[in-house]
Amino acid sequence: MNIATFEELLIAAAVQPQPQRLLLTFAVAEPEPGAAPGMSPRTTLVPVMCVDKQVGELDTFANLAEEAQHMGQPWDVLLITTLSGKDGRLPDAQQTDVALNKMLGAIQQGQLDRLLAFDRQGDLMSYA
């Protein structure tokens, strides 16, 4: 299934055979240090908040963005992946924490190939 919107992601997660937990990381885009003079600096993503949500806890990108705004932390990009349950049960807290930590490590290392990224308007982003 091709996912082009946040709402399509929610639908895709909801129809999986096992329950899904969504792992969400909000990040700011910062210029990478050490850019050569006159060159456009590369951008790096720095995680500022992360949370896990059950699919049923989310309905629209606008509502999620509003919830994040109340946390008071500025962000530029929302990175998302899913964590599958087993035997009809959601992953437990320990499994979720391990997966969130792996996700944060992947972001810090620039390994974004398994993550979907959305800008502040909820538009799906592509990696250059």
Write out pLDDT tens, residues 55-91. 999 999 999 999 999 988 999 999 999 999 999 999 9
Neighbours of 102 (CB within 10 A): 15
What are the CA-CA distances from residue 89 to residues 2, 16, 53 (Å)? Answer: 26, 12, 14
3-state DSSP call for residue 20? Answer: strand
Structure token pair of residue 70: 């109340």
What are the CA-CA distances from residue 92 to residues 51, 62, 104, 114 (Å)? Answer: 14, 27, 18, 21
Q: Which residues pair with 45 in a beta bridge?
A: 29
pLDDT band at 31, cuts 50/70/90?
confident
Query: Quick one: pLDDT at residue 128?
Result: 58
Gap between the Cα atoms of 33 and 43, Å rounded: 9
- Model confidence at 17: pLDDT above 90: yes
By DSSP bridging, strand 77-84 and strand 124-125 are unpaired
Q: What is the amino acid identity at position 24?
A: L
Give residue-wise pLDDT tens across range 109-121.
989 999 999 999 9
pTM over 0.75: yes
